[in-house]
A and B are shown apart, each in its own frame.
Chain A
Amino acid sequence: MLEIINLKARIGDTEILTGLTLSVNVGEVHAIMGPNGSGKSTLALVIAGHEDYVVTDGTVRFMGEDLLALDPEERARIGLFLGFQYPVEIAGVNNAYLLKAALNAKRRAQGEAEVDAFEFLKLAREKMALLNMDPALLNRGLNEGFSGGEKKRNEILQMAVLEPRLAILDETDSGLDIDALKAVAKGVNSLRDPEHAIVLVTHYQRLLDYVEPDFVHVLSGGRIIRSGDKSLALKLEEKGYDWVREAASA
């Protein structure tokens, strides 16, 4: 589904991704872990198409297409979703309006009929109930005055409504209390089936207690230096990132 080969990317004069290779198949859940500054968020933003990052080498294929040739909106419409580490607040853009516009943009692109206001509300309310979200948040400005936890739940709500083929969640677990973490995990697990794939970008192992990954990768210095199963995450928690770095350079 997602095939990244030798990806190199920089922002300004700083090279951040230095030759990253990763393959994600449909139905899989991957966790990408790594210390601060290792390039985790950059990887997520490059895949989503952020214009500040320049890809200097390598290829990224998604659903058989050359992903790097597509605009961010085209990537979204073929089923890519990025859950932001820092979701933006936009006063005056209604949360429900954006959610419906996003859903219909995707449905149009995939040749499906648009949903009407009634169908949309039914769907949104159903997903909000799953995430224990206050339905009133639907009528607020996008993330306007939301708490940190509400913003992250809102990202997961968008994911749940859009049902992307591949969801990349960038530190969605950071700054969440245990209830919010469980709600987010519930949302993520609801997307987990043989039709979809999920990449969790995270600093800590905590989320992985609730969403069990099939694969764990360690990112350091802009590339993946070690891959394994879920036991790797536990070992990291115990021994720290220096252990992998030393092992990799040995």
Chain B
Amino acid sequence: MNTTAIDTGLLERAVDKLPADALMPLRLKALRSFSETGFPTTRHEDWRYTNLAPIVEVSNLWLRDAAAGIAEATINDAAINDAAMEYASELASRIDAYWIVIANGMVHKASLTRLAGHALRGFDAVSLAGDDLMQPASGDDPMTRFNTALLRDVLRMTIRADNTLEKPVGLLIFDDASDGAALSQTRVIIETERNSRAEIIEYHASSGGHPHFANAVTELDLASGAAVNYVRIQNRDTAHFQSGRLMARLHRDSTFRHTAFDLGGGLIRNDVDVDILEPGASVELYGLYLASGQQHIDNHTRVDHRVGPAASTEEYRGILGDRSRCVFNGKALVHRGADGTDARQANHNLLLSEKAEIDTKPELEIYADDVKCSHGATVGQLDKSALFYLRSRGLDRDEAAQVLTRAFAATILAKSSVQAVRNHVESLIDQRLQTLAGGLS
């Protein structure tokens, strides 16, 4: 058996074991298209530095059980819900938001009621049917197909026109692998109607001592004049894996700000795809990844400027220690005729260990004439003259190093204007930096 590929025979039987509900036609369609390609390998340019072999391995393990109809043994919804709800209430005490819990891919029904009366509507797969279910499904990549093929539930949410949400919507995506190797497919569809304004928090966490692969796909549609401030916090167990994809479609004069914090996880791949469909859109993408031990964190972003004028700004920063490895690839694609495009990208990395590795590639592809574009990447160590300056003021070496790494990270934290998460994220970053600084000489 080829251990570097998903066993499609097992996958077919696993899909067949899922309930014959409204999702089934979509699953079967996705199964067919997935089977043609399988997972991407390092021969694909977009996956060159991220080898999915560990994810394939845990997937095949789980599929074997699922195909034999004993998947329920490893998806104990009741037990998972208890763990997830406990995590959610802890989180809710720190971050004030309308929290919705999605545990191992299943939307927690009771938490949907929190949206009622807040210019929001939320549905899961059971309350939706057929064609309504997946619009505006736009993804057509192997990870999204795999997600659709094994989908058990969907969260679909609408933010009503001309409304501004008083509090952020918090999506807790919680996965548990206490009872054996596990797989989860999370699917979220968010529509913001015209001139609505919302803050959205996507929070990933996991528990359990067995291997786990979380495959999450979020689709976001911004209508004319809508403004979304999105924060993604990935704080998974460092033994667990994730592929997360966010696909955003921007209409006239909409504003999208996305700030990503990768603090945990073993093997993590994030894709942010932004499609600018109408003029006047504004996109800001920020990210911070902190990696230590053997963590592998890969961030890919792509902004399609199909029309102009429109602006996109991007800045990702990484702090890497030990033998960690990170990847950044930011692509801005300015299509023919997208005049008046302003696209900027930057990626800065701080290496705290000689064994850490970063592969960074900001990319611009320009097919229009009247554009302003810039990109740049830096990789470096802590600035020696800054360290000396701080020490000459009485701070010891460790303290000075910590002040500087913190300052490096703080610039991204400052970009996220979702105030509700600020203190919590700041304390998570501080905790992580202490681990990272432990590896400093």
Binding site for B on A (CB under 8 A): 48-51, 71-73, 75-77, 81-82, 84, 87-88, 90-93, 98, 101-102, 105-106, 109, 141, 158, 162
Q: Please encode chain B, from 403 to 424, with 1 for each CB lying within 8 Å of some chain A CB and 0 for all others.
A: 1101111110010000000000
Min CB–CB distance A104 → chain B (angstroms): 9
Contact A76 B389, beta carbon cutoff 8 Å: no
Distance in angstroms between the alpha carbons of A154 and B383 in the assembled complex: 20
Min CB–CB distance B397 → chain A (angstroms): 7
Contact B393 A98, beta carbon cutoff 8 Å: yes
Min CB–CB distance B388 → chain A (angstroms): 6
Chain B residues contacting A77 (CB-CB under 8 Å) are: 394
Distance in angstroms between the alpha carbons of A144 and B4 in the assembled complex: 50
B386 at the interface (CB under 8 A from A): yes
Distance in angstroms between the alpha carbons of A92 and B90 in the assembled complex: 30
B385 at the interface (CB under 8 A from A): yes
Chain B residues contacting A93 (CB-CB under 8 Å) are: 390, 403-404, 406-407
B378 at the interface (CB under 8 A from A): no
Inter-chain pairs besides A50-B388, A73-B396, A76-B394, 20 sampled, C-beta below 8 Å: A49-B391, A71-B396, A72-B392, A73-B391, A73-B393, A73-B395, A73-B400, A92-B407, A92-B411, A92-B414, A98-B390, A98-B393, A98-B403, A101-B393, A101-B403, A105-B394, A105-B395, A109-B394, A141-B407, A162-B393
Chain B residues contacting A91 (CB-CB under 8 Å) are: 407, 411
The 9 closest A-B pairs by CB, nearest first: A92-B407, A105-B394, A76-B394, A102-B393, A92-B410, A72-B391, A93-B407, A73-B391, A88-B389
Closest to B389 in A: A88
Min CB–CB distance A250 → chain B (angstroms): 39
Which of chain B's residues 95-150 have a Cβ closer than 8 Å to chain A? none
Chain B residues contacting A48 (CB-CB under 8 Å) are: 392
Chain B residues contacting A49 (CB-CB under 8 Å) are: 391-392
Distance in angstroms between the alpha carbons of A69 and B409 in the assembled complex: 34
Chain A residues contacting B390 (CB-CB under 8 Å) are: 93, 98
Task: Give which listed residue, B394, B404, B408, B409, contacts A73 with CB less than 8 A.
Answer: B394
Distance in angstroms between the alpha carbons of A248 and B407 in the assembled complex: 50
Contact B411 A82, beta carbon cutoff 8 Å: no
Chain B residues contacting A101 (CB-CB under 8 Å) are: 393-395, 399, 403
Contact B404 A90, beta carbon cutoff 8 Å: yes
Min CB–CB distance B391 → chain A (angstroms): 4
Contact A51 B394, beta carbon cutoff 8 Å: no
Which of chain B's residues 288-306 have a Cβ closer than 8 Å to chain A? none
Closest to A84 in B: B389
Chain A residues contacting B414 (CB-CB under 8 Å) are: 92
Min CB–CB distance A68 → chain B (angstroms): 15
Distance in angstroms between the alpha carbons of A48 and B393 in the assembled complex: 10
